[in-house]
Chain A
Amino acid sequence: DAKTTQPNSMESNEEEPVHLPCNHSTISGTDYIHWYRQLPSQGPEYVIHGLTSNVNNRMASLAIAEDRKSSTLILHRATLRDAAVYYCIPSSNFGNEKLTFGTGTRLTIIP
Chain B
Amino acid sequence: GAVVSQHPSRVICKSGTSVKIECRSLDFQATTMFWYRQFPKQSLMLMATSNEGSKATYEQGVEKDKFLINHASLTLSTLTVTSAHPEDSSFYICSAGTPSSTDTQYFGPGTRLTVL
**Residues of A near any B CB (own CB < 8 A):** 34, 36, 38, 41-46, 49, 87, 93-104
The DSSP consensus for interface residues of chain B is: strand
Q: Which of A34, A43, A49, A103 contacts B95 (CB 8 A)?
A: A43
Check B107 against A44 for contact (C-beta < 8 Å). Answer: yes
**Residues of B near any A CB (own CB < 8 A):** 1, 4, 6, 31-32, 34, 36, 43-46, 49, 91, 93-110, 112
Check A46 against B43 for contact (C-beta < 8 Å). Answer: no
Q: Which of B4, B6, B32, B91 contacts A96 (CB 8 A)?
A: B32
State A102–B3 Cα separation when bound (angstroms).
24
Check B96 against A100 for contact (C-beta < 8 Å). Answer: no
Check A46 against B1 for contact (C-beta < 8 Å). Answer: yes
Query: Chain B's nearest CB lies how many Å from the CB of A32?
Result: 10
Check B43 against A95 for contact (C-beta < 8 Å). Answer: no
**Given the complex, which residues of A lie within 8 Å of B102, measured CB to CB?**
94
